[in-house]
Amino acid sequence: MHPFRKREDRPFLIHRTEKRGINGRDQNETGSQPYFRRDSKTFHKHLGNNKLVKIGTIELPEFPLLLAPMEDVSDPPFRYVCKQQGADLMYTEFISSEGLIRDALKSRRKLDVFEYERPIGVQIFGGDMEAMVEAAKIAEAVHPDLIDINYGCPVKAVACRGAGAALLQDIPKMVKMTEAIVKAVSLPVTVKTRLGWDEFSLNIEDTAERLQDAGIQALTIHGRTRKQMYKGSADWTLIGRVKANPRMHIPVFGNGDLDSPEKVRQMRDRYGVDGVMIGRASIGYPWIFREIREYLSTGLSASAPDISHRVEVCKIHFQKSLEWKGDRTGIFEMRRHYANYFKGMDHFKEFRMRLVTADTPESVYEILEEVLRKYQEAFA
């Protein structure tokens, strides 16, 4: 039996009856369809964690594992499978402040959060201070656990509008905006940012202190500059310096190039961060959270998920996608995930092509069952 599916460690069933609030729909649009939720407190107690990390009044286990907010990835269906595999704190996709105050459907829909996701943060971005303050208030109304401000997105469409990483060129404005948001909401406010705009403005050490003084409750730092985008290697040296600063008393989380449990332990031991945020390594591989926790707890490397577990989790992800988005959109947007779920499997190209062209839920499920049978037989 797979090490992550021990009989005594399986999730229990609950029936969700809570309301979304923002769109006036039941969270469980399928009526009596049960949702799975793991008792995370019991899980971490089993691993021996007893030193809590606190973000305001939010209590997280020792060395929490955070799921990064990723555009077109970190939606509720994806967050669901990551939560099942051990993510301790998750965030929505980043949401445009301008979109929220204009009541844009796409932005508003990103505010859908669910009880089983808690603790959950809503991340907002923008370059206009008044719009950001108003967006934070709108986000607070759907009752997340925290508000996160994105000062790190490097993409041109965001930064060239004065948002995301663009604020790294105007730290006084960043600090003033942060102060205004902290004062406007009652929830904890956190920030995700980068080392600086480029190699000539590596100002994160000073920026971290100023953001803390502005009232944020936690800080996540990606170990690259805006100029680097996602190229080259993440430099954790400055992240370690921020954490080692005796003036810093809020949690400091590291992010960047964390693609294995061994790498996570190395960064933890070398730089002393309070936890880590996992991004791209989780796409199509939500098991990374459980593998990291297992390795940190026991020092042993877990075996990779076999084909039955890959298909099982992929099907759950697909099911949640249909429930949240409807059949047409759910089928279409799930297509970006198949290659990642079955990455490294020999001769999978034919199945991938069929999956990304299938246009009914039934055909997708049939193909996934065929994948399961073929690869089980191949390794029997």
C-alpha radius of gyration, the chain, whole number: 21
Length of the chain: 380
**What pLDDT score was predicted for residue 103?**
86
Cβ(254)–Cβ(241) below 8 Å: no
pLDDT given for residue 336 in this prediction: 92
Report pLDDT for 17: 31
Q: Is position 372 within any domain?
A: yes
pLDDT of 50 reads 58
Task: Check whether residue 266 and residue 340 sit in a common domain.
Answer: no
CATH of the domain at 98: 3.20.20.70
Choose one of 298, 328, 350: the last residue of a domain: 298
Cβ atoms of 275 and 63 within 8 Å: the answer is: yes
Positions marked active-site: 153
* Residue segments in the chain with a per-residue pLDDT below the cut of 70: 1-50, 379-380
Is 249 inside any structural domain? yes
Structural domains counted in the chain: 2
Q: Are 262 and 234 in contact (CB under 8 A)?
A: no
What is the model's pTM? 0.84
Give the structural domain span for 320.
Answer: 307-378
Q: What pLDDT, in 10s, does the model give residues 124-159? A: 999 999 999 999 999 999 999 999 999 999 999 999
Answer with the one of 278, 298, 318 that is the final residue of a domain: 298
Contacting residues for 187 by C-beta, under 8 A, at least 6 apart? 56, 140, 144, 145, 146, 147
Q: In angstroms, rounded to a whole number, what is the distance separating the alpha carbons of residues 271 and 260?
A: 17
Q: What is the pLDDT of residue 368?
A: 97
Same domain for 313 and 280: no
Kind and range of the H or E element at 208? Answer: helix 204-214
pLDDT tens for each residue of 278-300: 999 999 999 999 999 999 999 99
Q: At 13, is the secondary structure helix, strand, or coil?
A: strand
Cβ–Cβ under 8 Å, residues 208 and 215: no
The DSSP bridge pattern shows strands 58-60 and 53-55 to be antiparallel
Q: Residue 277 and residue 269: Cα distance in Å, rounded?
A: 16
| Domain shared by 179 and 145, yes or no | yes
Instruction: State the pLDDT at residue 25.
Output: 34
The reply to whether 14 falls in a domain is no
User: Residue 21: inside a domain, yes or no?
Assistant: no
Query: Do 217 and 342 fall within a single domain?
Result: no
Query: 79 and 153, same structural domain?
Result: yes
Beta bridge partner(s), residue 54: 59
Q: Is 183 found in the same domain as 233?
A: yes
pLDDT of residue 37: 34
pLDDT at 106: 86
Answer whether 245's CB lies under 8 Å from 205's CB.
yes
